[in-house]
């Protein structure tokens, strides 16, 4: 039996841009005939420059965008075109954005944000606070962080909290959309080391979207390069 956690075949996506005088321009193809697989407990990099379609692909995989065609299977379940299955796998696939603010409510304290994930996974329980403390410690932060708001944290700290929130539901796959590009070099390295350590402990897979070949080659087990919406090469490290 295949160990593939994520299997994508012939995926395509295009959008219709609004034209002049109320007319619609021809559809612009962003992704064309994309096929790849990601095994359990491994890391795949999607490498490409701006406009190559890599972030669009991540949003198609996570259900934010609806592809035009192709298939997406996750954990043995067809989640496209059978989109009704997405509810069954919604906790198993989590996304970590470049801007951590995209996943953190600025009006909620960090503890409240983490408890949302814990309750989504387990329901209300007696050990919620202990779980929130364990999560925040796992990403290298102190317990007093739980009582702060996102605006009181640095960019690197917010990214660690966003990672803790993603891990709160025990995902099988983390989709990382340029998770370190907004951070300084030292913080970038700290986050990448942390991700690898947590992967070893928790056993999830990772799909890293990046424009940085050096990060892809050192962080990933395999790298697929995107150009003009197509996979043009694949490397194993």
pLDDT band (50, 70, 90) for residue 130: confident
Q: How many residues does the chain have?
A: 237
- What is the maximum span of the chain, computed from C-alpha positions, in angstroms? 60
Closest CA to 37 of 67, 65, 75, 93: 75
Say whether pLDDT at 52 is over 70. yes
- Mean pLDDT check: name the lowest of 56-70, 124-138, 195-209: 124-138
> pLDDT, tens digit, for every residue of 53-77?
999 999 999 999 999 999 999 999 9
Tell me what pLDDT residue 20 has. Answer: 57
Tell me what pLDDT residue 93 has. Answer: 96
Say whether pLDDT at 23 is over 60. no
* Angle formed at CA 121 by CA 187 and CA 191, multiple of 5 degrees: 10
Q: CA-to-CA distance for 38 and 209, rounded, in angstroms? A: 13
Radius of gyration over alpha carbons of the chain, in Å? 18
Name the average pLDDT for the chain.
90
Tell me if 138 sits within 8 A of 204, measured CB to CB: no
pLDDT band (50, 70, 90) for residue 22: low
Tell me what pLDDT residue 76 has. Answer: 94
Looking only at the bridges linking them, the beta strands covering 4-15 and 28-39 are antiparallel
**How would you label 121-139 residue by residue, b for 16+ Cβ within 10 Å and e otherwise?**
eeeeeeebeebbbebbebb
**Domains in the chain, CATH or no CATH each:** 43-65+91-236 (3.40.50.300)
Confidence (pTM)? 0.90
107-113 long-range contacts (CB < 8 A, ≥24 apart) are 107/149, 108/149, 109/146, 109/147, 109/148, 109/149, 110/136, 110/145, 110/146, 110/147, 110/148, 110/149, 110/150, 110/153, 110/161, 111/146, 111/147, 113/161, 113/165
Say whether pLDDT at 126 is over 70. no
């Amino acid at each position: 039996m295949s160990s593939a956690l994520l299997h994508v075949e012939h995926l395509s996506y295009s959008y219709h841009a609004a034209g002049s005088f109320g007319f619609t321009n021809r559809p612009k193809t962003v992704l064309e005939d994309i096929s790849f697989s990601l095994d359990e407990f491994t890391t795949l990099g999607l490498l490409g420059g701006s406009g190559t379609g890599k972030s669009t692909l991540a949003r198609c995989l996570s259900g934010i965008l609806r592809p035009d065609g192709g298939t997406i299977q996750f954990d043995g379940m067809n989640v496209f075109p059978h989109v009704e299955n997405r509810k069954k796998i919604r906790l198993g696939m989590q996304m970590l954005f470049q801007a951590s603010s995209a996943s953190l409510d600025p009006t909620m304290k960090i503890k409240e944000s983490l408890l949302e994930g814990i309750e989504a996974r387990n329901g209300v329980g007696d050990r919620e606070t202990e779980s929130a403390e364990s999560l925040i410690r796992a990403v290298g932060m102190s317990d007093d962080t739980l009582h702060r708001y996102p605006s009181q944290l640095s960019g690197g700290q917010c990214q660690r909290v966003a990672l803790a929130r993603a891990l709160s539901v025990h995902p099988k796959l983390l989709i990382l959309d340029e998770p370190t590009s907004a951070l300084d070099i030292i913080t970038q390295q700290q986050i990448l080391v942390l991700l690898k350590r947590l992967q070893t402990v928790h056993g999830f897979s990772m799909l890293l979207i990046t424009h940085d070949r050096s990060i892809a080659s050192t962080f990933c087990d395999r790298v697929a390069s995107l150009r003009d919406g197509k996979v043009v090469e694949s490397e194993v490290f």
